[in-house]
Chain A
């Protein structure tokens, strides 16, 4: 299918490892600290976070794939510009598709769709992996990193929406009669909706992850 010679099957253990490592031990956000930039601002609700995660998975996968195809023809001095142009073209496609089929969400995401271009995961994976590997492994590596990133995004959004608005995907989850207004005892935590809580949530996720994986602890 791709530049792969017949030696390896399409899903060898090596390929599967490329897919699975970024999800936990090599997670782009919590371990490599890449790609925090643009997207934590979209995690106040599940729906935009989900759309953002899918967009990033698509762009990282295909950007790595295309750059890997071109890797022997790009002159080293201008490679950053070439990479940025490829990524920008992919992001334009994603943006146009979102505007056509999910206009409401694309309004909510506003500039953050465009900011996928400068998402450090994409450039990081292109520089670190796609420039030195064949197209198919690069594609899988890109998808794996996209998924690892998307998982954190969705996890943060899950807690922020549940605790901040009492809803998930816009549906009420906390029973109505628990609220103080209805004579109950519960109140939404308004602080969770505000931007700084996304950072604190990521900090807490890092804390939990590193308590389970001792080898990730920094000195």
Chain B
């Protein structure tokens, strides 16, 4: 149990998707002009990571890892499908995004009106695919750990985008040198926020 908590906290603060790996930067920069939209996109990312990562984990365990096809028949132990992982992960992500969009549109219209426009964006958000690839690389032991990692990195991403959106709202009133306005200053502030988050690095969990 403590192990799961430590993975959760670690993926929020220490291995933060934005500040340590730059994942999902495109939408992070494009959609962080106001706090309200930033919260919407952030929640959509948490949601999608929470759904796709466990699914991809199961696929990885029972379909892709070398020798894992033994559960179908012993003849298949030699089969190694791991080269297919990119295409399978991205197909799962794209189709789940589409499914979730349809389900939310049908059954939760109020959520759809607030999340709706962000959902298609999510399919090509690097944070989601990045989460799946990190999950594969770090070899988490069970579904619980993977879910903790998924939710943790989603919440880390949400924190980062809400933080930068709040700063950018205030930034409108400050006198930034003309060539730095907009994107330039956003990059530099993200860098500074990254340095702040690095202070968590010494924490051993």
A199 touching B22, Cβ below 8 Å: yes
Contacts of B192 in A (CB 8 A): 196, 200
CA A84 to CA B129, docked complex, whole Å: 12
Segment of B25-33, B68-76, B110-118, B142-150 engaged in the interface with chain A: B25-33
Q: DSSP majority for the A interface?
A: helix
B87: shortest Cβ distance to chain A, in Å?
A: 4
User: Would you give the 0/1 interface string for B99-111, flagging 1 where the beta carbon is closer than 8 Å to chain A?
Assistant: 0000000000000
A111 touching B130, Cβ below 8 Å: yes
B136: shortest Cβ distance to chain A, in Å?
A: 8
Determine whether A151 belongs to the interface, using a CB cutoff of 8 Å to chain B.
no
Chain A, residue nearest B197 (CB):
A196
Total CB contacts across the A-B interface at under 8 A: 147
Number of contacting residues on B, CB 8 A?
51
B86 touching A114, Cβ below 8 Å: yes
A84 touching B22, Cβ below 8 Å: no
For residues 187 through 217 of chain A, which have their beta carbon under 8 Å from a beta carbon of chain B?
194-200, 202-204, 206-211, 216-217
Contacts of A35 in B (CB 8 A): 26
Determine whether A36 belongs to the interface, using a CB cutoff of 8 Å to chain B.
yes
Contacts A203-B188, A218-B183 hold; do A41 and B22 have CB atoms under 8 A apart? Answer: yes
CA A218 to CA B85, docked complex, whole Å: 41
A209: shortest Cβ distance to chain B, in Å?
A: 8
Contacts of A85 in B (CB 8 A): 87, 90-91
B104: shortest Cβ distance to chain A, in Å?
A: 17
Chain A, residue nearest B20 (CB):
A195
Contacts A92-B86, A115-B130 hold; do A84 and B19 have CB atoms under 8 A apart? Answer: no
Contacts A88-B87, A117-B129 hold; do A196 and B180 have CB atoms under 8 A apart? Answer: no
Determine whether A1 belongs to the interface, using a CB cutoff of 8 Å to chain B.
no
B96: shortest Cβ distance to chain A, in Å?
A: 11
CA A211 to CA B86, docked complex, whole Å: 40
Determine whether A33 belongs to the interface, using a CB cutoff of 8 Å to chain B.
yes
Determine whether A37 belongs to the interface, using a CB cutoff of 8 Å to chain B.
yes
Chain B, residue nearest A42 (CB):
B22
B124 touching A120, Cβ below 8 Å: yes
Contacts of B120 in A (CB 8 A): 80
**Most chain A CB within a 10 A radius of its CB, from B90, B95, B137:** B90
Contacts of B25 in A (CB 8 A): 36-37, 40
A200 touching B191, Cβ below 8 Å: yes
A81 touching B21, Cβ below 8 Å: no
Other contacts beyond A36-B26, A114-B129, A216-B179: 12, CB < 8 A: A30-B183, A33-B29, A33-B30, A40-B25, A81-B98, A84-B91, A118-B90, A195-B19, A196-B190, A199-B188, A203-B187, A206-B183
A-B contact pairs, 10 of them (CB 8 A): A33-B26, A33-B29, A37-B24, A114-B86, A117-B90, A196-B19, A207-B177, A210-B179, A217-B181, A218-B182
